[in-house]
Amino acid sequence: MKIESLPRTIAAAIGIAMILGGLLLGIWAFTQWDRPTGASNQPTTADVQAESLEAQTGNLTSTEQTNTSSGLQNSMADATQADRATDTPTPAGLLVLTVEENVPAEFQQILAQLALSGTIPLTTTSDAGPPTLRIATDTSSGEPIYRSLFAVATRFDVVETDIAADAVYALWQSTPPPENRYTQIAVISDTLPSLVALLGEAGEAVTGYADTDAVTNAVWADRGTLTLLPFEQLIPELTALKVDGQTPVENDNLFNVDGYPFVLDVYAQILDPVAPVDPVLAEIIAASGGSNRRSNNLTVIAMTGVTAMVRLTAQQMDLYGPLWAVEYVSDTLAAADLTVISNEVPFVPGCTTNTAPDNLTFCSPPEYMTAFEAMGADLIGLTGNHQNDYGRNATLTSLQIYEDAGLPVYGGGPNKEEAFKPLYIEHNGNRLAFLGANSYGPPFAWATDNGPGSTVFDLNIMSATIRNIKARDLAEVVLAELQYQESYDVTPLFDQRQTFLALSRTGADIVTGIQSHVPQSFEFEEGSLILYGLGNFLFDQMQGTTREGMVIKHTIYDGRHLSTQILTTLIYDYGQPRWTTGEERQKTLNRVFGASYWERP
């Protein structure tokens, strides 16, 4: 077990200690609690001491043990020194808390914040009386009050996203099986006590780092490095792997926490049966949410590439029924919280199928809406350049069909003013803004002052809109998409890349290219994700890489873009996408990742 430099951790602990030293004196008891008369005049002493990790890890030095002590314990000890310096007695009526070192760091921080705020009468000083509560991770310690999930992750550009729990356990203990493709585990040093409690003694393959950024650098520097991160500390540059088929970045439709192996439960043991503990525990659970992965703060967004149910795709749907096209993908898409379909063409009553290969005037009959229903479509992007192929009146009819189906739209609308407006969605407390535009044209596809169509792209207008959203706090996560010029190459056009980068720099959290009929590369810009093109989803192109597509699943948690998954598809029979694994997935992603722009080492 190795520990890298910890300057940020130490600085953070010092900062917390300074705050606690000044504010701990203000902790007071609720008036509804019975308080003993008088207060102790004795100086305070820290009841919570840093436990040695030597017995658990075996090969940690005393310096390393000190560096991995919890921020709460160090802060409370420093605060006690401040109490002694001012000779201030400990307030009476406080519930005395004992916190074991392996309790997750994020939960210890919550306890410290509650003590600081005076929300509950809580202290860790022994002079306030004998311990009232013991917080620990062993199952003999009373009732469970908190659950901490760790995600197994690696660098974003990974093709194989499945791993066995046994392989992770073996690597942690430095006994990986010969076929294990990973040789190292990078963790945040502050999480070591919790991980040792969860996984046992850490072997030589495990290295501790100061923070998430340092861990991410280590993972990107070596393809053989995994990380075990607290769920809420994931960032988009990391891919959360599926452990025995499960990943916590999915919503509860596809994730079962009770069957996930890397979960550490926290228990509260009541040491004083007559103390008024229940209200305090209720306040602690409420403040923590009971977990670092709360289902009611999580949103999974699924986004598709080019959708044009026309020509040979339409012929197949006419022959086998509209559900034929989405037979293999509908269940997965419907399981997302928000499924976003970029539909290139209008729904036109009486539309007939034209299979001519040179036919570029597109429409779909309203009956095809059943395919959208099967996929659980929630939002429709209108940036496609075929929106007005059958005239503006037909586009208005198509917009009415969406409205009748309860499907909000963005990237287009009944007129220019409406088309420019972002679509605001709030789900599970996550405030999202969707906006899009068509930069390629043709001009008749664009909305006008009085006519419908896609949004004409203006970099200044879209950039100002994004900045306004962020400045006015109208949304926490902004998703921008563009219908750009088609190139049929994995590498974006030069001006395409510059435009997408500009949108990212103005504050868009996710920028997506919808135009491309082949999968295109990725890029991260200061933490924001750029997807230059997703490729075809529902379309009849069967030539080479036009069969390939990517469905993207973004996980938003507690108002932040946390993670992104890449699902790969291959079109069969001129319009039926199927999920790919193995060689086909590797072929697609190796090409896409190889053309991507990575800033990490």
Between CA 527 and CA 524 the distance in angstroms is: 6
CB 431 within 8 Å of CB 475? yes
Instruction: Give residue 192's identity as a one-letter amino acid code.
Output: L
Angle at 247 between CA 242 and CA 253, to 5 degrees: 130
Kindly report the backbone phi and psi dihedral angles of residue 120, in degrees, each rounded to the nearest multiple of 5, phi listed first: -135, 150
Closest CA to 171 of 129, 138, 210, 199: 199
| Three-state secondary structure call for residue 384 | coil
Q: CATH number for the 1-29+55-292 domain, one of 3.40.718.10, 3.40.190.10, 1.10.3720.10, 3.40.47.10?
A: 3.40.190.10
DSSP state of 301: E
- What's the gap between Cα 122 and its chain centre? 33
Taking CA 234 as the corner, what is the angle to CA 229 and CA 238, rounded to the nearest 5 degrees? Answer: 100
- Scanning 277-405, the segments in alpha helix (DSSP H) are 278-288, 311-320, 330-334, 369-374, 392-404
pLDDT digits (tens, 9 = 90+) for 145-169: 999 999 999 999 999 999 999 999 9
What is d(CA 148, CA 292) in angstroms, rounded to the nearest whole number? 5
Residue 484 in 3-state DSSP?
Answer: coil
- Cβ atoms of residues 101 and 50 within 8 Å: yes
Per-residue model confidence (pLDDT) at position 131: 86
Residues belonging to the chain: 601
Distance CA 313, CA 355 (A): 9
Burial of 55-85, coded b for 16+ CB within 10 Å and e otherwise, reads ebbeebeeebbebbbbbbbbbbbbbbebbee
Per-residue confidence (pLDDT) for residue 3, from 0 to 100: 53
pLDDT 10s digits, 378-413: 999 999 999 999 999 999 999 999 999 999 999 999
CB hemisphere CA count around 445 (13 angstroms):
24
> How far is 565 from 116, CA to CA, in rounded Å?
39
Quick one: which of 557, 587, 506, 73 has its CA closest to 292?
557
- How many beta carbons lie within 10 A of that of residue 27, not counting itself? 22
DSSP, res 391: -
In angstroms, rounded to a whole number, what is the distance separating the alpha carbons of residues 298 and 250? Answer: 9
Q: What is the pTM of this model?
A: 0.86
Tokens of 407: 């499907």
Give the start-end residues of each E strand in 174-214. Answer: 184-188, 206-209
Ramachandran area for residue 277 (φ above 0: left; ψ -120 to 50: alpha; else beta): alpha
Could you tell me which residues come within 8 angstroms of residue 386 by beta carbon, excluding any fewer than 6 positions away?
308, 344, 345, 346, 360, 361, 362, 445
Q: Enumerate the H helices of 159-202 as residue ranges.
A: 165-172, 192-199
pLDDT of residue 129: 72
* Alpha carbon distance 313, 377 (integer Å): 19
For helices 105-117 and 7-23, give the axis angle rounded to 10 degrees. 20
Q: Give the integer Cα–Cα distance in Å for 425 and 586.
A: 34
Q: Using alpha carbons only, how large is the chain's radius of gyration in Å?
A: 28
Question: d(Cα 104, Cα 229) in Å, to the nearest integer?
Answer: 11
Nearest to 233, CA basis, from 246, 219, 244, 245 = 219
Q: Which of 51, 34, 47, 49 lies closest to 127, judged by CA?
A: 47
Annotated domain spans of the chain: 1-29+55-292, 297-594
DSSP labels, 260-291: -S-EEEEEEEES-TTS--HHHHHHHHHHHTTB
pLDDT of 27 reads 30
| One-letter-per-residue 3-state SS of 442-455 | CHHHECCCCCCEEC
Q: Residues in the chain with pLDDT < 50?
A: 5-92
CATH architecture of 297-594: 4-Layer Sandwich (3.60)
